[in-house]
Amino acid sequence: MSFTRRQIFVGLAGLAMVGAGGAGAARYWLGRSQAGKGHDYQLIAAPLDVELVSDRTTPAWAFGGSVPGMELRARQGDWLRVRFINHLPVPTTLHWHGIRLPLEMDGVPYVSQLPVLPGEYFDYRFRVPDAGSFWYHPHVASAEQLGRGLVGPLIVEEREPTGFAHERTLSLKTWHVDEQGGFLPFSVAREAARVGTAGRLSTVNGVPQAVIEAPAGQVVRVRLLNVDNTVTYRLNLRGADDSRIYALDGNPIQPRPLGKEYWLGPGMRMCLAVRMPAAGEEVALRDGSVRLGTLRAVAGEGMAGDWPPGLPANPVAEPNLGNAEKLTFNVEWVGSTSVGGDNGQPPSLWQINGKAWDINDKTCADRPIARLARGKSYIFELKNMTQYQHPIHLHGMTFKVIASSRHTLEPYFTDTYLLGKHERARVALVADNPGVWMFHCHVVDHMETGLMAAIEVV
């Protein structure tokens, strides 16, 4: 595949105009103009020193002057236009996780576009067909780039107002930092061959033990985004036992109780309705029994809110299970940590259907592991032959989870499915978006050590 370098070098004048990155207020929502017209942003990626550990500095990389990156918002069906400016010392791209968009906007290097070099910009422009909680991140040197903080929420609002009067976005990330705030390795071969390399300091919206205020007695839409490289959070809430799940990974479900806990793997999102307690009381957001952060009820306005009705479905094509073609994808461990890893080359530890993705080979996407016919329905049988779980993610299309060997489930649409140890699951989709789409585990160091493939829709 070949590209012309459409991006234009941003000269010094350009930099001065937009404020030269860093901690500056490099955030502009140029505003929601008229309905249907679109949403325009300028988004700068630049180094930013942050204080994650008190009185210590962490040399993070940030989108729009904050970690996680600035929250982008758009309205369902509208255009989102982002002028992305790279002030990092390294090449990068932006990928829009969960958004069904044209391949040229998908941010995959050498598949969608050339990497955006330091000093360059790239204009991302696409419509957002689905309402929900999504996110954006680079697709280049992902362990380091996401690890240093290049992750941000993208919220697509429903066309019509929902029954929610209040909402909060909570991005979960566990940082690879030591007690001095310095970065630890983002990927260690020994860990990449197992559950993935986990960070040590958990944060909500970039703050350890964050406290988020919300109005007492009101029902609040809480958007939880797992933007971490590695960790599957076993989410539960203490102090709001009647909380309900309204959407998973950007797609509405029939509202149901959160129950004991929900396992939110890397890349996954969940939208909850939480009824806040009386003023002064708290709801603990927990990973298993560990508190990640706190929702604190503050004296609020108005009467106690009611549970809103379910959210409207997104316009995702319903797969025809009757005449769908079945394809099997085996996720395997091939781990030999002695190859690569220590000499700078990532080791090859994982594969799908006998093929490991080589993160340094720009031509891997020329050899897709499956070719789908445009408009046809498919059932993917996902077989995890390993003793580790893998959040399996597909670009470009939304799929429907229809069966699992581990639990009975109510079918639902998603872009990322947490495939448990030795689990077999079936997901179905209509191959309605032409292109070469990445299909990978979202544990970032699994993806960078083989657990990625391309699926082509022609």
Binding region for ligand C2O (CB under 6 A): 95, 97, 137, 139, 267, 393, 395, 438, 440, 442
**Residue 446's binding partner out of Cu ion, ligand C2O, none, with CB under 5 to 8 Å set by partner kind:** Cu ion
CB of 444 to ligand C2O, least distance (A): 9
CB of 337 to Cu ion, least distance (A): 15
**Residue 441's binding partner out of Cu ion, ligand C2O, none, with CB under 5 to 8 Å set by partner kind:** Cu ion
Q: Cβ closer to ligand C2O: 142 or 386?
A: 142
**Residue 394's binding partner out of ligand C2O, Cu ion, none, with CB under 5 to 8 Å set by partner kind:** none
**Count of Cβ atoms closer than 10 Å to residue 411 Cβ:** 14
Q: Cβ closer to Cu ion: 129 or 217?
A: 129
**Residue 454's binding partner out of ligand C2O, Cu ion, none, with CB under 5 to 8 Å set by partner kind:** none
Task: Tell which phi-psi region holds residue 31, choosing left (phi > 0), alpha (psi between -120 and 50) or beta.
Answer: left
- Residue length, the chain? 458
The residue nearest ligand C2O at its CB is 97
Provide the strand spans (E) within 187-344: 201-204, 210-215, 219-226, 233-238, 244-248, 251-257, 262-264, 269-275, 282-287, 290-298, 325-333
CB of 95 to ligand C2O, least distance (A): 5
Q: Cβ closer to ligand C2O: 95 or 286?
A: 95
**Residue 390's binding partner out of ligand C2O, Cu ion, none, with CB under 5 to 8 Å set by partner kind:** Cu ion
Report the distance separating Cα 388 and Cα 384, nearest Å: 8
**Residue 176's binding partner out of ligand C2O, Cu ion, none, with CB under 5 to 8 Å set by partner kind:** none
Q: Are 307 and 255 in contact (CB under 8 A)?
A: yes
End-to-end CA distance of the chain: 15
CB of 430 to Cu ion, least distance (A): 18
**Dihedrals phi, psi of 146, to nearest 5 degrees:** -70, -40
Q: Cβ closer to Cu ion: 75 or 97?
A: 97
Report the distance separating Cα 173 and Cα 31, nearest Å: 28
* DSSP letter (8 states) at residue 447: H
Q: Are 171 and 231 in contact (CB under 8 A)?
A: no
**Residue 440's binding partner out of Cu ion, ligand C2O, none, with CB under 5 to 8 Å set by partner kind:** ligand C2O
Sign, Cα dihedral of 232, 236, 237, 238? negative
Sign, Cα dihedral of 226, 229, 232, 234? negative
Residue in the block written with tokens 């490289």? 229
CB of 137 to Cu ion, least distance (A): 8
Q: By the criterion CB under 5 A, which residues form the site for Cu ion?
A: 97, 390, 395, 441, 443, 446
CB of 173 to ligand C2O, least distance (A): 13
CB of 316 to Cu ion, least distance (A): 15
Q: Cβ closer to ligand C2O: 240 or 436?
A: 436
